[in-house]
């Protein structure tokens, strides 16, 4: 009988997910692409060009636009949609063997899998694709064979380019109020490992989080329990050169892109120097550099109570947004309690 991933529990762990390990350093996956459904695609076009410094997008058969940031044809896929949020998390397998082993594992766990149709594969520009849902209902697309761009990547804004390769395009941070179920899914089903667990306070807001790795990148996916309404909290692109991060920060201020967290550095073992701003859809982006890699083999999860070793001072705008979110959650909780 098929398992409903939204209500199921996955008591697995990376160690119990044999056959989906790649080359031994992680589970053979990487964050390959992100798909956003956005209300104002023209604003995103300007944002991707002016703020992120990405070249002209490609048009896909489903009407979405794909932006590249390295040798792949697309990494950020922007489609028109009312959600203004994450539409799909694209995890790429390092080869067909990993893809096949993962497919067999999903079958063995009776998890419903939607085979990627030819039109979907054409729009994602991948050779093979299967889609599942995580416990929060986020679409997770598992793919292999990303289409390569015919010419090298060049960006005037990020002259040294972005750090991607086998580490993937950066990271995605999801919002969830079912942290344990999400952790069990990403570790027990997909084979991620836990890099760190976070419990902290930002202003009056309590935040719990988990940072998950699938290769040497400290986290390709993180999940935060915090009072936000969106699925996506932020995504991060890693520049090769920290100077490009500083210039992007200056560019954001000049273009009046709302800043959430000023320049700062995440503590060891991550070490990323970055800043955070707001996308045209209201969730955040992070541009960073200097991300330290971890050794997934034998990694023991760490616990942390701090998100930054210096800087990352929240803007007044973010403080007000957090206060409004907390108030909205309290009102929602209160009206639920009265029912």
Binding site for Fe ion (CB under 5 A): 236, 286
Distance in Å, CB of 270 to Fe ion, minimum = 9
Q: Which is nearer to Fe ion, 138 or 233 (CB)?
A: 233
- Looking at the Cβ atoms of 196 and 286, the one nearer to Fe ion is 286
Cβ at position 171, least distance to Fe ion in Å = 6
Task: Report the distance separating Cα 301 and Cα 211, nearest Å.
Answer: 9
Give 65 or 219: the residue with its C-beta nearer to Fe ion.
219
In the bound complex, what is the minimum distance in angstroms from residue 288's beta carbon to Fe ion? 7
**Cβ nearer to Fe ion, comparing 101 with 261:** 261
Nearer to Fe ion, 68 or 266 (CB): 266
**CB of 45 or CB of 270, closer to Fe ion:** 270
Selection from 203, 201, 313, 193 nearest residue 259 by Cα = 313
In Å, what is the CA distance from 172 to each residue of 38, 69, 169, 219, 285? 17, 16, 9, 8, 9
Shortest spacing between CB 261 and Fe ion, in angstroms: 10
Give least dist CB 239 to Fe ion, A.
Answer: 13
Structure tokens at 87: 């539409």
Distance of CA 42 to the CA centre of its chain: 22
What is the DSSP code string of 33-90? EEEEEES-HHHHHHIIIIIS-PPPPEEPTTS-EEE-SSSBS-SEEEEE-TT-EEEEEE
How far apart are CB 219 and Fe ion at their closest, in Å? 8
**Smallest Cα–Cα separation from 274: which of 289, 292, 294, 253?**
289
Whole-number Å distance between alpha carbons of 117 and 310 = 47
* 248 vs 236: CA distance, rounded Å: 13
* Residue whose C-beta lies closest to Fe ion: 236
């Amino acid at each position: 009988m098929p398992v409903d991933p939204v209500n199921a529990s996955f008591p697995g762990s990376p160690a119990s997910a044999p056959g989906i390990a790649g080359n031994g350093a992680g589970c053979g996956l990487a964050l390959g692409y992100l798909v956003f459904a956005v209300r104002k695609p023209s604003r995103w076009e300007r944002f991707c060009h002016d703020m992120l410094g990405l070249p002209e997008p490609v048009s896909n058969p489903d009407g979405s636009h794909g932006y590249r940031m390295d040798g792949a044809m697309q990494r950020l896929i922007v489609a028109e949609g009312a959600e203004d949020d994450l539409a799909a998390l694209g995890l790429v397998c390092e080869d067909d063997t990993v893809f096949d082993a993962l497919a067999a594992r999903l079958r063995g766990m009776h998890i419903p899998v939607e085979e990627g149709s030819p039109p979907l594969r054409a729009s994602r520009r991948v050779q093979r694709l299967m889609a599942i849902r995580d416990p929060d209902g986020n679409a997770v697309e598992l793919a292999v064979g990303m289409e390569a761009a015919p010419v090298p990547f060049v960006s005037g804004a990020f002259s040294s380019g972005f750090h991607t390769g086998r580490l993937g395009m950066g990271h995605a941070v999801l919002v969830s109020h079912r942290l344990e179920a999400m952790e069990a899914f990403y570790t027990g089903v997909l084979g991620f490992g836990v890099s760190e667990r976070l419990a902290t306070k930002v202003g009056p807001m309590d935040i719990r989080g988990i940072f998950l790795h699938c290769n040497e990148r400290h986290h390709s996916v993180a999940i935060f329990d915090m009072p936000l309404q969106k699925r996506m909290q932020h995504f991060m692109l890693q520049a090769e050169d920290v100077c490009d991060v500083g210039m992007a920060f200056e560019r954001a201020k000049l273009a009046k892109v709302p800043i959430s967290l000023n320049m700062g550095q995440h503590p060891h073992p991550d070490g990323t120097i970055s800043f955070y701003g707001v996308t045209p859809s209201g969730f955040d982006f992070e541009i960073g550099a200097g991300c330290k890699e971890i050794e997934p083999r034998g990694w023991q999860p760490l616990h942390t109570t701090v998100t930054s070793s210096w800087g990352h001072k929240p803007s007044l705008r973010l403080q007000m947004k957090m206060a409004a979110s907390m108030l909205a959650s309290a009102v929602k909780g209160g009206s639920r309690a009265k029912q």
